[in-house]
């Protein structure tokens, strides 16, 4: 059992033959609410028992190891987490539930709550592990992925300049940097990878 957080770019790992992996994603500020901090390690995974004073993760691992059903394991993890989750910070709750894509969340929440923008930024970094700028970059990348997949489903050729304009990229090099950063693939290799998956599933 290891903990990595928060992940901001692609990384490689290897599983031994016969190994199993169950990945738990902490949504929003749940990582902070569970561990009391959003950053555990900048480079290396750590043993979660070193973060929480109780030797609880070792016990959880033994419980999960005795289960074969994924749904049973998920329910076990959810039940395990509930007693440890702290109440959500009021500003963090506003940030997590902010849905207006036409407005700056930090500026809007600062105005509504009478805080400085810097204070809201620090709260976001502390509770979520990333800044609003980093979040915007990720959301822009996700939008690009969705547009590309939509084009591929229609069996059309991807118009990269249209993707760049639609998602708000400055140029093609910025789009390439985001693909390399988040999934360690170039845009064209991503498209090739998607074609290979579709071809394999159709055989």
- Using the 3D structure, point to which of 56, 71, 90 is the last residue of a domain: 90
> Does residue 116 belong to any structural domain of this protein?
no
pLDDT band at 44 (very low <50, low <70, confident <90, very high): very low
| Burial bucket for residue 4 (CB in 10 Å: 0-12, 13-18, 19+) | middle
Q: What is the largest CA-CA distance in the chain?
A: 60
For residues 71 and 138, membership in a common domain is answered with no
Q: What is the DSSP letter of 157?
A: P
Q: How many structural domains compose the chain?
A: 2
The model's pLDDT over 57-92, given as tens digits with 9 standing for 90+, comes to 777 888 888 898 989 998 998 888 888 788 889 999
Across 132-142, b (16+ Cβ under 10 Å) vs e yields beeeebeeebe
Q: Is the pTM of this model over 0.95?
A: no
For residues 54 and 138, membership in a common domain is answered with no
Residue 14's pLDDT is 84
The model's pLDDT over 146-193, given as tens digits with 9 standing for 90+, comes to 999 999 888 889 999 999 999 999 999 999 999 999 998 999 999 988
For residues 3 and 82, membership in a common domain is answered with yes
> Does residue 119 belong to any structural domain of this protein?
no
> Does residue 164 belong to any structural domain of this protein?
yes
142 pLDDT higher than 50: yes
CATH number, domain containing residue 147: 1.10.10
- Using the 3D structure, point to which of 90, 113, 145 is the last residue of a domain: 90
- Best CA proximity match to 28, nearest among 147, 130, 114: 130
Q: What is the DSSP letter of 46?
A: B
List beta partners, residue 46.
Answer: 3
| Burial bucket for residue 62 (CB in 10 Å: 0-12, 13-18, 19+) | exposed
For residues 85 and 137, membership in a common domain is answered with no
> Does residue 78 belong to any structural domain of this protein?
yes
Distance of CA 45 to the CA centre of its chain: 16
Domain that holds residue 139: 133-202
Residue 155's pLDDT is 81
What Å distances lie between residue 139 and 74, 105, 156, 169, CA to CA? 27, 14, 24, 12
> Does residue 185 belong to any structural domain of this protein?
yes
For residues 86 and 6, membership in a common domain is answered with yes
- Best CA proximity match to 33, nearest among 83, 94, 73: 83
> Does residue 161 belong to any structural domain of this protein?
yes
In angstroms, the CA 65 to CA 49 distance is 17
> Does residue 126 belong to any structural domain of this protein?
no
> Does residue 100 belong to any structural domain of this protein?
no
- Using the 3D structure, point to which of 55, 90, 125 is the last residue of a domain: 90
């Amino acid at each position: 059992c290891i903990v990595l957080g928060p992940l901001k770019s692609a990384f490689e790992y290897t599983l031994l033959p016969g190994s199993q992996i169950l990945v738990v994603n902490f949504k929003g500020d749940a990582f902070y609410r569970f561990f009391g901090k959003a950053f555990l390690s900048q480079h290396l995974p750590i043993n979660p028992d070193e973060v929480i004073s109780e030797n609880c993760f070792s016990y959880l691992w033994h419980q999960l190891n005795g289960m074969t059903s994924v749904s049973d394991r998920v329910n076990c993890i959810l039940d395990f987490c509930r007693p440890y989750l702290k109440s959500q910070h009021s500003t963090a709750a506003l940030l997590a539930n902010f849905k207006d894509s036409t407005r700056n969340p930090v500026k809007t929440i600062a105005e509504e709550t009478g805080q400085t923008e810097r204070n809201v930024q620090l709260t976001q970094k502390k509770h979520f592990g990333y800044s609003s700028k980093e979040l915007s970059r990720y959301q822009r990348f996700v939008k690009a992925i969705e547009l590309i997949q939509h084009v591929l489903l229609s069996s059309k050729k991807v118009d990269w300049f249209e993707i760049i304009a639609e998602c708000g990229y400055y140029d093609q090099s910025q789009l390439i940097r985001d693909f390399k950063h988040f999934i360690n693939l170039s845009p064209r290799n991503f498209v090739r990878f998607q074609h290979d998956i579709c071809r394999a599933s159709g055989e």
